[in-house]
Structure 1
């Protein structure tokens, strides 16, 4: 059995349990689409993101976003939560406060301000 690093985030929350829940699975390159979908269904959160190696030029990281029932090309709180997780978990280092997130909707510019352990994330929807 392969183990995967997993977090459950509370996106847009000022205190625990008041935001939008998000599942985050790291190093998911070995998971098929069917396995990602099955895991998202089992976790039963509104969305779960899976981190993959980027495949698009200029992308700092790549995420796929799943609900319990289907994959989404883009969603707001999963994209914000993924950027926060990427920075705070040391997956990426912003360059002049900027990152590029790859998702099924394309490449999204991400702005990061504040300290690495508590960044503020802003991004534009596609």
Structure 2
């Protein structure tokens, strides 16, 4: 079955190194918790808030061995007034035996407020 795996993280500064590090940490946790292999991934979509514009977060995935052929795309999040700032969001679609309820979505940093029902916070 193809499932969506969600993730989000925040950074303190709009700089390439911090964005890449936060995105790598987010992806690694998503991959580890859900036992994802690159060959099972259909695509990965990244979005950022408008205040993050120094690097494409998809660049972080290119640092992972074996992930160079996974299709990725970056876009800007809808600028909703009062929404969480400096946020990177990920939607990974992958083939998995996990049920919808068993999929582990990952929210790090201030992004835990986005889905407290899934993070227990």
Q: Return the TM-score normalized by structure 2.
A: 0.32
Higher share of residues assigned strand: 1
Q: Return the TM-score normalized by structure 1.
A: 0.31
Q: Which has the higher contact order (CA 8 A, sep 6+)?
A: 2
Higher share of residues assigned helix: 2
